[in-house]
Amino acid sequence: MPNNPEKKASAKIGDMPKEEFRKYGHEIVDRIADYFENIDKMPVLSQIEPGWLSENLPENAPLDGENFSSILDDMDRLILPAVTHWNHPNFHGLFSTSTSSVGIFGEMFSAAYDMKAMLWRTSPASTELEPVVLDWLRKMMGLPPDFSGIIYDTASISTLHAIAMARERIDLKIRENGMSGRTDLPLLRVYCSEHTHSSIDKAVILLGLGQRSIVKIPANEKFELDHEKLSEAIRDDIAAGHLPLCVVATIGTTSSTSIDPVEKIADICERNNIFLHVDAAYAGSAAIVPEFQSYFKGWERADSIVTNPHKWLFTPFDLSILYVKDKDLLKQTFSLVAEYLKVAETVTNQMDYGIQLGRRFRSLKLWFVMRYFGQEGLIARIREHCRLARLFAGWVDESENFEMLAPVPFALVCFRANPSKIEDLDALNEKIMNDINASGEAYLSHTKLNGKLALRLSVGSIRVERRHLEKIWDLLNEHLNAEIANH
Amino acid sequence: MPNNPEKKASAKIGDMPKEEFRKYGHEIVDRIADYFENIDKMPVLSQIEPGWLSENLPENAPLDGENFSSILDDMDRLILPAVTHWNHPNFHGLFSTSTSSVGIFGEMFSAAYDMKAMLWRTSPASTELEPVVLDWLRKMMGLPPDFSGIIYDTASISTLHAIAMARERIDLKIRENGMSGRTDLPLLRVYCSEHTHSSIDKAVILLGLGQRSIVKIPANEKFELDHEKLSEAIRDDIAAGHLPLCVVATIGTTSSTSIDPVEKIADICERNNIFLHVDAAYAGSAAIVPEFQSYFKGWERADSIVTNPHKWLFTPFDLSILYVKDKDLLKQTFSLVAEYLKVAETVTNQMDYGIQLGRRFRSLKLWFVMRYFGQEGLIARIREHCRLARLFAGWVDESENFEMLAPVPFALVCFRANPSKIEDLDALNEKIMNDINASGEAYLSHTKLNGKLALRLSVGSIRVERRHLEKIWDLLNEHLNAEIANH
């Protein structure tokens, strides 16, 4: 029995007593520290069956409050087994997450202050820190000062705002008059490569442009948008009376991290007065590394660029940045001020720059990350991820039983097993991937490249080391050998 | 000098050393605990001048990493003075935030796991906990089981999804064909009251419907949508060949927490086959209190309902819930599956239900809140806020120098000073508000009601007590008396 039994929260008013906050707060910090220290030993992919967690939860919230200690017990008993560990150094699926401890510290303060950054006065700290930190990053990425940034939650929302700006820019009074009940609107067109992220499609659907507005330009054998085909498509569309609205070019596609020819695309956009949005949600972080700057050539000519520090800049989810050249256009796209939000200040009110009225204090965690690691520390970590990815790609290249399926500009390796004895390589690779994932030893994902099922190995955890890549390389070879033996 | 000088993060690879994580993690917990214990003594409104923080920040990120202790020092020196304390019990502006300690604990775990809840397999815990917790709340709010919920970040995004569903439902192939370059689309219409939140306008703009699609129905003297005028507007629109898409009814408007006649509006929507969205972003939490259920009559007939636990259910920002009747329609509105996201499971993948692909593990903090406080604890706290608001309204009613300007169904009081000696009451009340806000003693906001400037006092902090309302009542009377004396 504890000396001071904790009184149930339902038996009184107010917040958790301060002694309890300290006690459990410290306990959670220790639990998170233990989690990171032991994460190597946990299965990467949750081993539960679908439905297991739901079935183990009661059908109703408890009537009386519970002690927080019993909630913490359930974190071990119920939640942890249902977590797929994105922070595990052998999580190589999708894009690995790069969360750092200091990023978590930023989230702690942000949750405690619980500001809704809508007006300057309701959140001066967030309103003023954000542009400063985004300017730090802009300089590190080598972007000119005519770009200014704003933080949204996800790349989907950043991209949505970019294409909304493009729609506003053509001055067909869509903000005022909409697109329904009109006969004066040409078909509006958005161009991107067939490798562009699905968030473009979702944004176009949401904006009322419809899927037929999207023109998917074929890519070349290296998965880069074919700029000549883009040029033709635009020419044909204009001839048909359609109106080109926006081109989305990607630096670091999700499938293979391929790089569209941004310089050439910028030429085409300039010539035709089309809004250019660059999706660098994943790869943007690599622009801080001097020797990778060449991959980003031409992006300074874009109208907007999205990059996600929550992907690869050691910042917990969510924090996506949209850099735009014309911030007034962004404001004009959405700004609406209700009476209860009217204030006299001539300051920036962040609510004027997007669909969300309130915003979390997200710049704080990025500020922590940039200061704690410093420019050199950030560069070194990104560089190391890319070095490890190339190292792994080298093992693939040297192996008789595996082959590379795409170049490795950043830290994603697309490859497959191709032993001479087995014919259905898609089925083989899918089985190897599923078996490894199911084992919990490591996690890979897949994509289709030139009609072939490719395994995707992403290197991005802050905890990843050479030994983790050796481990998955061994796993891949073991599983392949077992398949060959069983063949 | 410390015994073990900390090595700069830029001088090595990997995350913060585990000893540092524990040390600083504990320190942050203690700082947050101190913050809540001393928050009463801080100025509610940040006392900095615009630009002060920006000017005190360096122009570039440091090259080398910094010790975390110096970052923490700057939290005191630079950030804290720039924080407007939403958690202060005398923050009565906008809607007070109700963040609880256990909610912050939820954010700590969520940041540490850093899951992106897109596929079931990448986040079983989030995918399965969310519907269970939302079902707990659905039952507490007295909604029937044909509603199922999904968590978004803000009410703006929840509402956007609701109206997108309405647009998808009319089956004019807008998802596929869009609205541009067509001549077959009638003018689509969205109806709401003149007191509806600006997020409706933003959603309609974003969806490409345009501001002219919005029909603002006048409200009566109690700020409730006039259902007869709604009926007329719909009849006239149909006669003119327009297509009514959606009606937004509000329970608890932002200006005055007025309540639209949802039953009558539901009748009209049913008769005309129109999608009904109910905005209960603020007031929805009060539906858990049995004696307030009558305010929500008819909302069970809506197609969708938004409610924000981050407003008034002790959950840190951000966590907004959209309850919908037809979850398949929501899926149909946005679902798109790229190759690298294709998996074999026949499970729910949360990415199919919205514009954002990844989602934070937000249900965890709500689970903590519902378990720690229990149903009874949550009800007691909401009830107490409403009791305190009515108490304050009573003081206003009894005073010769103040008057009420709106009913108080929940925990917001709209009132103003109206001393007999002063004529320009708008100027008087604005001055009193500005002076009190500038003093840092308390924070109020304002709105316009029936052409009069009304002061808004929101009661919602988990730390608010009778003494805090007595304090602001004293302040109001002192400032008014000074104005009268100077008149």
Residues sharing a CB contact under 8 Å with residue A33, sequence separation 6 or more, in sequence order: B18, B21, B22, B25
Burial of A56 (0-12, 13-18, 19+ CB in 10 A): middle
Give Cα separations from A70 to B198, B333, B372 (angstroms): 42, 40, 9
- For A:371-390, CB contacts with B below 8 A are 371-377, 380-381, 384
Give bridge partners of residue B249 from the DSSP assignment: B278
Chain A to chain B Cβ contacts (< 8 Å): 534
The amino acid at residue A318 is D
Please judge whether A125 and B21 are an interchain contact, meaning their C-beta atoms are less than 8 angstroms apart: no
pLDDT tens per residue, range B173-197: 999 999 999 999 999 999 999 999 9
Query: What is the distance between the alpha carbons of residues A474 and A90, in angstroms, rounded to a whole number?
Result: 13
pLDDT tens per residue, range B92-142: 999 999 999 999 999 999 999 999 999 999 999 999 999 999 999 999 999
Residue B344 has pLDDT above 70, yes or no: no
User: Residue A306: its chain B contacts at CB < 8 A?
Assistant: none
Closest CA to A100 of A322, A409, A319: A319
Under 8 Å between Cβ of A455 and A463: no
Please judge whether B45 and A121 are an interchain contact, meaning their C-beta atoms are less than 8 angstroms apart: yes
Give Cα separations from A38 to A34, A92, A347, B18, B132 (angstroms): 6, 18, 47, 11, 29
Residue B273 has pLDDT above 80, yes or no: yes
Give Cα separations from A253 to A58, A125, A223, B452 (angstroms): 43, 35, 9, 55
Cβ-based neighbour number of residue A384 at 10 Å:
17
| A103 vs B: CB within 8 A | yes
Please judge whether B112 and A30 are an interchain contact, meaning their C-beta atoms are less than 8 angstroms apart: no
Query: What is the distance between the alpha carbons of residues B434 and B432, in angstroms, rounded to a whole number?
Result: 6
Closest CA to A335 of A115, A118, A121: A118
Closest CA to B36 of B96, B82, B99, B95: B99
Closest CA to A195 of A390, A454, A391, A437: A454
Is the pTM higher than 0.80?
A: yes
Candidates 2.30.40.10, 3.40.50.300, 2.40.50.140, 3.40.640.10; correct CATH number of A116-360? 3.40.640.10
Q: Name the DSSP class of B219.
A: B
Predicted pLDDT of residue A208:
98
Please judge whether A339 and B447 are an interchain contact, meaning their C-beta atoms are less than 8 angstroms apart: yes
Q: Given strand A402-404, what is the order of strands in its sheet? A: A402-404, A412-417, A452-458, A445-449
- A259 CA: distance to closest CA in chain B (Å): 18
> Tens digit of pLDDT per residue, chain A (487 long)?
344 578 899 888 999 999 999 999 999 999 999 999 999 999 999 999 999 999 999 999 999 999 999 999 999 999 999 999 999 999 999 999 999 999 999 999 999 999 999 999 999 999 999 999 999 999 999 999 999 999 999 999 999 999 999 999 998 999 999 999 999 999 999 999 999 999 999 999 999 999 999 999 999 999 999 999 999 999 999 999 999 999 999 999 999 999 999 999 999 999 999 999 999 999 999 999 999 999 999 999 999 999 999 999 999 999 999 999 999 999 999 888 655 556 555 788 999 999 999 999 999 999 999 999 999 999 999 999 999 999 999 999 999 999 999 999 999 999 999 999 899 999 999 999 999 999 999 999 999 999 999 999 999 999 999 999 999 999 999 999 999 999 8
The mean per-residue pLDDT over the stretch B290-296 comes to 98
The amino acid at residue A81 is P
Query: What is the distance between the alpha carbons of residues B54 and B82, in angstroms, rounded to a whole number?
Result: 10
Under 8 Å between Cβ of A125 and B83: yes
Instruction: Quote the distance between the C-alpha of residue B15 and its chain's center.
Output: 35
Predicted pLDDT of residue A339:
58
Place of tokens 């992220």: A197
Give Cα separations from A140 to A128, A137, A145, A370 (angstroms): 19, 5, 12, 11
Sign of CA dihedral B463, B468, B469, B472: negative
Residue B350 has pLDDT above 50, yes or no: yes
Instruction: Quote the distance between the C-alpha of residue A354 and its chain's center.
Output: 19
- B320 CA: distance to closest CA in chain A (Å): 12
Give Cα separations from A346 to A146, A342, A360, A402 (angstroms): 22, 11, 22, 61
Residue B343 has pLDDT above 80, yes or no: no
DSSP states of A152-196: ES-HHHHHHHHHHHHHHHT-S-HHHH-STT-S-PPPEEEEEETTS
Give bridge partners of residue A448 from the DSSP assignment: A453
Query: What is the distance between the alpha carbons of residues A280 and A292, in angstroms, rounded to a whole number?
Result: 13
Assign B342 a pLDDT band (cuts: 50, 70, 90). low
Please judge whether A372 and B16 are an interchain contact, meaning their C-beta atoms are less than 8 angstroms apart: yes
Domain residue ranges of chain B, discontinuous segments joined by +: 116-360
